[in-house]
């Protein structure tokens, strides 16, 4: 009865659950980067991104206003009043104090509204909304403002300041705008060039008869297992020898060479599986190989072309090794996103909000490309595997 039509086996449900879990595991860090990129440093340090929609409890060290400029006479004493959050540059009324203290050893010694005795008649009172009243004599109310340790509940807060920092027009290591356009300059030609060249080669290996065709197919398959690290130094020496050096042309040719074997193999397998009758009828009607290729093969091979375009775009966009060898210079004028993020790890290693924003900016374009073309991915990968 388990195999009756209209019922799903236990294996089918297991597959669906497994796929769902994989999708969740894949989305979990991506959503975390997205949410963290809109949070402040204090929020990230105090709670995880999954708590971003809920109020967060934060421990802060704040100071009252400078008494020399803000104190006022009150009989024989002097007082300084104000709002502790306003003095720190925060909007008053956005946070609520639960406990507070005047020493790091007892940060929760007082409740809001209680008066702290600082000794010799000096007192400090702090309300839940941050209003304070500091009272003392002439010697006490002087120098720097009184330090307060507060535990406050802050509402959810989101900001675009992190994006302003990493996408600013400045020339510092925080600026990703130049690296973003440099990466596009590398990725787009490095994706288009191998597709164009491999499409012609794949058609020739699939439908044109010439001596050594089988040997060329075997060479292409063999090149798939050659690690690119073996070719980095010889290829760089070749570039330097012919005058290309380090630049966009060199990195385009490097990515084209490293991506060509897979492109030819993938497209050739797809084109071999196309209906032979269509091509033979076109030849009978007098069509040339170029006409067959451009008007018949290319439109029918779009799933395979899109499939390889996804892979090549993602590999090139996320590449660091090839860009380091063939592109990145000492001035940083042609640095790519991956290299810029490595620089940020050195200069902003403790600023998680900046690193999260930079990482999400880096993966945003690949995500758009993948989701826009993913329907062609499986069709292209399975091309030629079944008849």
- The candidate with the shortest Cα–Cα distance to 180, out of 55, 53, 386, 360, is 360
- The candidate with the shortest Cα–Cα distance to 307, out of 344, 265, 335, 341, is 265
pLDDT digits (tens, 9 = 90+) for 69-83: 888 888 888 899 999
Structure tokens at 264: 């030819």
pTM, 2 dp: 0.72
pLDDT digits (tens, 9 = 90+) for 19-47: 889 888 888 888 888 998 898 887 887 77
Question: What average pLDDT score do residues 325-347 get?
Answer: 77
Asked if residue 317 has pLDDT above 90, the reply is: yes
pLDDT digits (tens, 9 = 90+) for 247-291: 888 899 999 989 999 899 888 888 888 888 888 888 888 888 888
Asked if residue 382 has pLDDT above 80, the reply is: no
pLDDT digits (tens, 9 = 90+) for 124-137: 999 998 999 999 98
Where are the domains positioned within the chain?
11-52, 56-154, 165-381
pLDDT of residue 1: 44
Q: What is the CATH number of domain 165-381?
A: 1.10.3720.10
Residue ranges of E strands in 145-247: 147-154
Q: Supply the angle between the helices 177-207 and 213-223 in degrees, to the nearest 10.
A: 150
């Amino acid at each position: 009865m388990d195999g009756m039509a209209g019922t799903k086996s236990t294996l089918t449900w297991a597959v669906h659950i497994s796929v769902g879990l994989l999708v969740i595991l894949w989305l979990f860090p991506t959503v975390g980067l997205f949410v963290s990129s809109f949070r402040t440093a204090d929020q990230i340090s105090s709670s995880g991104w999954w708590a971003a929609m809920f109020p967060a409890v934060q421990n802060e060290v704040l100071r009252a206003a400078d008494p020399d400029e803000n104190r006022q006479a009150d009989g024989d004493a002097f007082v300084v009043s104000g709002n502790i959050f306003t003095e720190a540059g925060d909007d008053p009324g956005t946070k609520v104090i639960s406990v507070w203290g005047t020493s790091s050893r007892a940060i929760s010694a007082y409740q809001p509204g209680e008066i702290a005795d600082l000794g010799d008649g000096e007192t400090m009172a702090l309300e839940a909304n941050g209003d304070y009243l500091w009272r003392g004599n002439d010697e006490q109310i002087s120098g720097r403002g009184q330090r307060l340790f507060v535990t406050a509940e802050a509402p959810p807060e989101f900001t675009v300041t992190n994006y302003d920092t990493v996408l600013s027009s400045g020339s510092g290591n925080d600026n990703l705008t130049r690296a973003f356009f440099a990466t596009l300059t590398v990725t787009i030609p490095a994706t288009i060039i191998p597709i164009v060249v491999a499409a012609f080669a794949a058609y020739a290996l699939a439908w044109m008869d010439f001596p050594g065709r089988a040997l060329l197919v075997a060479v292409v398959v063999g090149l798939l297992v050659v690690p690119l690290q073996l070719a980095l130094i010889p290829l760089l020496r070749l570039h330097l020898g012919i005058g290309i050096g380090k630049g966009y042309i060199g990195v385009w040719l490097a990515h084209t060479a490293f991506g060509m074997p897979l492109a030819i193999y993938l497209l050739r397998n797809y084109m071999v599986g196309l209906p032979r009758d269509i091509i033979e009828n076109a030849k009978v009607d007098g069509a040339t190989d170029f006409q067959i290729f451009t008007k018949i093969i290319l439109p029918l091979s779009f799933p395979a072309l899109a499939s390889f375009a996804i892979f090549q775009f993602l590999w090139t966009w996320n590449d660091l090794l090839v860009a380091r060898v063939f592109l990145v210079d000492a001035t940083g004028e042609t640095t790519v996103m991956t290299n810029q993020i490595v620089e940020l790890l050195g200069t902003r290693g403790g600023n998680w909000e900046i690193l999260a924003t930079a990482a999400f900016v880096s993966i945003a374009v690949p995500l758009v490309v993948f989701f826009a073309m993913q329907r062609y991915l499986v069709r292209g990968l399975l091309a030629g595997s079944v008849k």
